[in-house]
Amino acid sequence: MFRNGSKPGKKTGRGSLLRRPIRRCWVLFLLPTAAAFAVGFAWPFLQGIYLSFCSFITTGDARWIGIGNYLSAFRDRGFLYSFRYTALFAVVSLVLINVLAFAVAYVLTRGIRGSNLFRTVFFMPNLIGGIVLGYIWSILFDGVLRWYNTSILLEARYGFWGLIILVCWQQVGYMMIIYIAGLQAVPEDMLEAARIDGAGSWQTLRRVTIPNLMPSITICTFLSLTNGFKLFDQNLALTGGAPFRFETAADGTLSTIKTTEMLALNIYNTFYGQSSAARGTAQAKAVLFFVLVASISIAQLRATRSREVQQ
């Protein structure tokens, strides 16, 4: 017998009365979301994988050709170059964005005067779209590089560091907000205990603050890593892949290497820029791109989650 005298299984609370139809008809309640997921994500995703094994111009005339698109993707020297270039860019931007964002967040949670204004200023570039950002910075870089009789479009290393500066400028503010939230959530009694135990500020940072900040670090590294790999608009607007380099392969074929072209831009150029016969190759590249980003993100999430501290 229950405490209130009701029979077992017959709950009398208002909440449970409301919840009962939901439990009984859960399929009905799940259906709209499941349908939206299937139509908006699962079906296009599966169709995309299917198309990567086809030769097509429109989705209606797809013809199965097996792994031919994947083979031509791997034979494309420009794609392999973009692969390496994007990986390097993602690693450098990941480190710089997170170090800078953490440093800014750390200082802005010290209670300095004007910290709210500084937060606004650092977050502001995040409100500007990628294409506009690219054009703004191309004007600035060319304005500076003109003094040295060069341009951002003439040197690959200028393009690389230009993109790095651009994404840092854009994303540091966003990551800073996440780090500030994490720093404010570090229990004050832990910090006080560390101080009483005689820990210096560096020791407190290393042994107390950072371990408690691991959830924020997980989110920020995940976001900056995936953003680094997926970068498209800024790359298109700032350099468009320039400067170009021409290479001759062992079999005598001439290939164009766009020295600042990242993976997403390479896929876009393959799909729209070349002959329509290359659309299947672009689709195969997109699937490879997805596999790469997903597997790296999962590995990174596992690595950083294992270091999180339970409070």
Residues forming contacts to other proteins in the complex (CB under 8 A) are 107-108, 110-114, 117-118, 121-122, 124-125, 136-137, 139-140, 142-143, 146, 169
Cβ proximity to other proteins, 27 vs 139, nearer residue: 139
How far apart are the C-alpha atoms of 178 and 198, rounded to whole Å?
A: 29
How far apart are the C-alpha atoms of 24 and 26, rounded to whole Å?
A: 6
Task: Provide, rounded to whole angstroms, the least separation between the CB of residue 173 and other proteins.
Answer: 9
Task: Provide, rounded to whole angstroms, the least separation between the CB of residue 198 and other proteins.
Answer: 16
Task: Provide, rounded to whole angstroms, the least separation between the CB of residue 211 and other proteins.
Answer: 25
Buried b / exposed e across 112-124, counting CB within 10 Å, b at 16+? eeeeeebbeebee
The tokens for 285 are 């590249």
Cβ proximity to other proteins, 142 vs 308, nearer residue: 142
Cβ proximity to other proteins, 166 vs 282, nearer residue: 166
How far apart are the C-alpha atoms of 68 and 79, rounded to whole Å?
A: 15
Cβ proximity to other proteins, 90 vs 101, nearer residue: 101
Task: Provide, rounded to whole angstroms, the least separation between the CB of residue 125 and other proteins.
Answer: 8
Task: Provide, rounded to whole angstroms, the least separation between the CB of residue 212 and other proteins.
Answer: 23
Sequence-ordered list of residues with C-beta below 8 angstroms from that of 5, at least 6 positions apart, any chain: none
Cβ proximity to other proteins, 63 vs 110, nearer residue: 110
Cβ contact 272:173 at 8 Å: no
Contacts by residues 141-145 (CB-CB < 8 Å, ≥ 24 positions apart): 141/238
Q: Following CA atoms 213, 219, 221, 223 in sequence, which dihedral angle do they give, to the nearest 10 degrees? A: -150
Q: Following CA atoms 35, 39, 40, 43 in sequence, which dihedral angle do they give, to the nearest 10 degrees? A: 130
How far apart are the C-alpha atoms of 217 and 205, rounded to whole Å?
A: 14
Task: Provide, rounded to whole angstroms, the least separation between the CB of residue 183 and other proteins.
Answer: 15
Task: Provide, rounded to whole angstroms, the least separation between the CB of residue 121 and other proteins.
Answer: 4
CA contacts within 13 A on the Cβ side of 2: 10
Distances (CA, A) of 192 to 82, 137, 187, 196: 49, 44, 9, 6
How far apart are the C-alpha atoms of 107 and 192, rounded to whole Å?
A: 18
Cβ proximity to other proteins, 89 vs 169, nearer residue: 169
Cβ proximity to other proteins, 105 vs 278, nearer residue: 105
Cβ proximity to other proteins, 48 vs 125, nearer residue: 125
